[in-house]
Amino acid sequence: MEILFNIFIQPFIEMFTAPDLLIQVLWEGFVSGTLYALIALGFVLIFKASGVFNFAQGIMVVFGALSLVGLYSLGVPAYVALALCILIMFLLAATVERFVMRPLVNQEPIILFMATIGLTFFLIGFGEFVFGGEPKLMITEELGLPTGSYDIEAFGGLIILQQIDISAALIAGAMVAALAVFFNKTRIGRALRAVADDHQAAMSVGITLQQIWVIVWFAAGIVALATGIMWGARSDVSFALQIIALKALPVLILGGLTSIPGAIVGGLIIGLSEKMLEFYWGPMLGGSIESWVPYFVALIFLWFMPQGLFGERIIERV
């Protein structure tokens, strides 16, 4: 009986008796959710246009943030460093297209997946070789990002909203909107969608695959850079950050591998449910259940929708 009470009644009593904490938990879930969505977006962009499940997204996050901090430490002004970083992400995209994607065109998805893990290894070694393995401070203030917090006294308690979290949510929202416009309204965006539907048909109407791939990898690189700045500001910039990318995987299967709205809705569902479950039900199980709970949430959804919430239904024929 006590177990049932702990599962079904106790957490809700806590929610009602301390509404300030409930709101704080929801806020944390919302912020984590937008950041997970941002990482997931990087995966979706590449998967949509090339069918590659890009495991290197995590290390690209680290790589982007490290380049930014590394350039700044060399004495480059913050905004110039940011611009140079975008250039670096472009070079990375072009290199990956030339040396990894192009020779592997038309291979099985699993081979491409493995190649991105190989790329991850390479970038870990390269990044540590160039920047060193020690953690670095994100140049939050130099980039003009706020560092303070808003304290709101409400619901019989204190709700603390970090300004960096608010700006993270805003930037994530802006990037998603920009990408949506890019995909739907521009010429290149339409070409991207054509490639996503059918490689060969797209080529036959005169779309160059190589160019499209460079563009999607570049877009994913910019998303990675933004993610790196945001997570870096929340703790520090080190190679441990790439583990964060694993958090985006349940978001992906929940939202569907090919859907941009899916990544956002999925991110929010995972972020909110993860923080709520950890905070209210986690201690009962000994805590730290965040590592696997999102996957089970995603599995429950998948049981009913095997292609994710917004994934494309595939009709299989023999």
Site for other proteins in 215-274 (CB under 8 A): 231, 234-236, 238-241, 243-244, 246-247, 249-250, 252-253, 257, 274
Query: In this structure, are residues 217 and 60 in contact, taking their beta carbons and an 8 Å threshold?
Result: no
Nearer to other proteins, 199 or 275 (CB): 275
* Smallest distance from other proteins to CB 164, Å: 10
What's the closest the beta carbon of residue 190 comes to other proteins, in angstroms?
Answer: 26
Q: Are the C-beta atoms of residues 207 and 213 closer than 8 Å to each other?
A: no
Residues of span 284-303 touching other proteins by CB under 8 A: 285-292, 295-296, 298-299, 302-303
SS3 category, 162: strand
| Per CB under 8 A, 199 contacts other proteins | no
- Whether the Cβ atoms of residue 62 and residue 241 lie closer than 8 Å to each other: yes
Which residues is 149 bridged to in the sheet? 162
The answer to the question of residue 279 lying near other proteins (CB under 8 A) is: yes
User: In this complex, which beta carbon is closest to other proteins, that of residue 205 or of residue 318?
Assistant: 318
Q: Does 316 engage in binding with other proteins (CB under 8 A)?
A: yes
Give the x/- contact pattern for other proteins in 7-46, rule: CB under 8 A: -------x---x--x--xx--x--xx--------------
Q: What is the four-CA torsion angle of 129, 135, 140, 142, rounded to 10 degrees?
A: -60
Which residues, 146 to 185, sit near other proteins by CB under 8 A? 149, 160, 162
# residues near other proteins by CB under 8 A: 84
Q: Residue 120 interacts with other proteins (CB under 8 A)?
A: yes
The answer to whether 220 and 54 are in contact (CB under 8 A) is yes
* Nearest C-alpha neighbor of 135 from the set 232, 56, 246: 232
Q: Is 161 left (phi over 0), alpha (psi -120 to 50) or beta?
A: beta
CB of 28 to other proteins, least distance (A): 4
C-beta separation of 47 from 179 below 8 A: no
Q: Taking CB under 8 A as the rule, does residue 84 contact other proteins?
A: no
Which of 58, 64, 221, 308 forms a contact with other proteins (CB under 8 A)?
308
Binding part of the chain for other proteins, among 82-90, 179-187, 208-216, 283-291 by CB under 8 A, reads 283-291
Distance, in Å, from the CA atom of 26 to the CA atom of 36, rounded to the nearest integer, reads 15
Contact 87, 218 (CB under 8 A): no
